[in-house]
Amino acid sequence: MANQNTLPLYDKYWVKHTLSRVMDSLTLLLLLLLLGYRINIFSHSNYTFPCLVAFICESWFTFSWILVISTKWSPAYTKTYIHRLLLRVPEGELPAVDLFVTTADPVLEPPIITINTVLSLLALDYPHNKLACYVSDDGCSPLTFYALIEAFQFAKLWVPFCKKYNIQLRVPFRYFSNNTSTDNNEDTPEFMQDWLKMKNEYERLTRKILNATKNSIPLVGEFAIFSDTQPRNHPTIIKVIWENKEGLSDELPHLIYVSREKKQEHPHQYKAGAMNVLYLGGGLAGLQGIFYLGTNCMHRRKVIYGLSPYHGIQNGKKDHGVSNGKFSEKKTIFGTSKGFVESATHALEGKTFTPNNNICKSLEAASEVSSCEYEYGTAWGKQVGWMYGSTSEDLLTGLKIHTKGWRSEVCSPELSPFMGCSPQDILVVIGQQKRWISGLLDILLSKHCPIFGTLFGKLQFRQCLGYLWITTWSLRPVPEICYAALPAYCIINNSSFLPKELGQWIPATLLVIYNVSTLLENLKIGLSIRTWCNNQRMARITTMNSWFFGFLAILLKRLRISNIGFEITRKDETFSNEGANENDGRFIFNKSPVFIPGTTILLIQLTALVTMWLGWQPPVRNNGHGSGVGEVFCSTYLVVCYWPFLKGLFEKGKYGIPLSTICKSMALAFLFVYLCKAN
């Protein structure tokens, strides 16, 4: 029998997914055949303008699909054995872990969501004297601070309750939701009594925070420091809500509130800046590792501090001096705080830093590193910490980490440890998608482009293709909008862009195989056919609307016409099935120009179909091919995808497309029809 101390803490398994590989390869083969058909037509000088546009768009789709295949080809998953950890490492030798929670707006990100995250972290099954939870409030809200104080009082009851009954689901709003049973431990009178007590205490906590949301908090006592603050103009505020002074494993972890200094004349780098202040205190798994996508991630401190995995065998200059050099050299990287530089040095050397003083005595140093000017002239955001220069700061930071040669792993236990809040209506989805795409394009067009990471860094080639796959999403709106306009153009002009005769089977087969393969993948992970249909529809809507405006935002930024800001995603405050969202299944529209492309595409497809039905098409010219079943099918497919927009044309109120948007889209549609007729 193997020695328990020598057994691995995890195993990594590679999955072949033969069927998926075959379907993806067939899709690529058909795309190449389609391009070959186009090239053959061009060689005989028998092509039209729609065919040329189709060839350019299909070339892009083929390139994108190659990136998809490379990313999906060798998936892997990791199985961990947590029960072996304490057999290998004594509890006293486990590393200290800092837990970071970020929030920026108490309206868009209600405090009740923030404190549920904090409560789940305070109840982690880990020695509490090794944990410290930092809450970064970029909105400098007294409401958030109040909610944390009240949440800590509830945590004094919640954490012991979780430990006593070995509760696995430690997020209160999920645990006490209607669909959660109470018999996960034992259905004893004592447990039921404690369960009801905890449920009542949580409901009391929720009511107190809700009342504080509706009524302003008196800015006296501990809250007096918020009396002369604004979200984008305030001094550093650091409050130690709880300190585990005795260092006992059964006490609650440290809980610290941090709101970094902000001044209107100083750029604050959005979420990346907030994360850097705190740090003073599927298929990719088979390659170099999963992307860093914002949350539920764990980082080794020395990695965030800019160390490469090769620092022991390479010249120290390769790490920009982070692991070697005198204090005078390190302060140009980490800043002038001697205490922090000492802490960073210990982390880089793999040592545990244990300061002599307690947390409360470190507030002066913490305030120093939280000031607006602290990062000036340092490497923060450039070589160390979370990277600046993109609204997708998470992906950029992960890219820099992989470029240094580090690998990442994805851990997916049977019970999901943390779950995020997804947007609940189309307005939030579009805003979030626009921000992501603008950030991705910023990365693609910058010195951080994945290609440079492979040429001049340690980014593996296929990992580079994976990053190109996700960053080139930002370019996809252009070919997709052009391709979506082709069916309507051909119907109105009575021309064709699809292959004819035997060649027509290429796009038909491609359509079938692609949709069957994506449907099978959705069914395999437990999604329904209806969900698959919605995903296909939303892919068309988000790409041609929010992604397109994200692309335009960066284009205008690069031309120095306008700049972009960070848009906070609104979180939904409904946690149970009670009072179902009235907007479920319905699109909400407003006067934002982001709805103009989709409305215009819908109108030109409807115009094309009406033109065909009424027989208003011109005769076929130059013995060419007129529009046929293929063009009509494509146009009808787009109308089905934009069915919510079609209903929005006739709805009123928030479910209806505003008249101003309809008028602008009609003007663009008429211009499109005019250009079709002119050609």
Q: Which residues are annotated as a binding site for UDP-alpha-D-glucose?
A: 109, 138
Q: What is the CA radius of gyration of the chain?
A: 28
Inter-residue contact 53 to 80 (CB < 8 Å): no
Inter-residue contact 116 to 83 (CB < 8 Å): no
The one catalytic residue in 138, 187, 194, 250 is: 138
Inter-residue contact 365 to 374 (CB < 8 Å): no
Which of 88, 247, 244, 252 has the alpha carbon at shortest distance from 163?
252
**87-90 CB contacts, 8 Å cutoff, 24+ apart:** 87/4, 87/5, 87/7, 88/5, 88/9
Q: Which run of H or E residues covers position 133?
A: strand 131-137
Which positions ≥6 away from 209 have C-beta within 8 Å? Answer: 111, 112, 115, 146, 147, 150
Q: Which run of H or E residues covers position 153?
A: helix 142-164
Distance of alpha carbon 587 from alpha carbon 644, whole angstroms: 6
Label the pairing between strands 97-103 and 131-137. Answer: parallel
425 is catalytic: no
Opening angle at CA 422, ends 657 and 24, nearest 5: 90
Inter-residue contact 173 to 575 (CB < 8 Å): yes
Cα 170 versus chain centre, distance? 24
Distance of alpha carbon 105 from alpha carbon 200, whole angstroms: 28
Inter-residue contact 24 to 74 (CB < 8 Å): no
Residue 123 DSSP symbol: T
Cα separations in angstroms, 591 against 210, 604, 642, 656: 31, 20, 18, 10
Name the one residue in this structure whose structure tokens are 């120009």: 593
Inter-residue contact 289 to 390 (CB < 8 Å): no
The one catalytic residue in 24, 137, 319, 394 is: 394
Distance of alpha carbon 300 from alpha carbon 298, whole angstroms: 7
Q: Which run of H or E residues covers position 302?
A: helix 301-304
Phi then psi dihedrals of residue 465, to 5 deg: -60, -35
Cα separations in angstroms, 316 against 240, 310, 320: 38, 10, 7
Distance of alpha carbon 632 from alpha carbon 635, whole angstroms: 5
Distance of alpha carbon 476 from alpha carbon 495, whole angstroms: 25
Distance of alpha carbon 27 from alpha carbon 69, whole angstroms: 10
138 is catalytic: yes
Distance of alpha carbon 265 from alpha carbon 298, whole angstroms: 33
Name the one residue in this structure whose structure tokens are 């995903």: 535
- Known binding residues are 109, 138
Active site residues per annotation: 138, 394
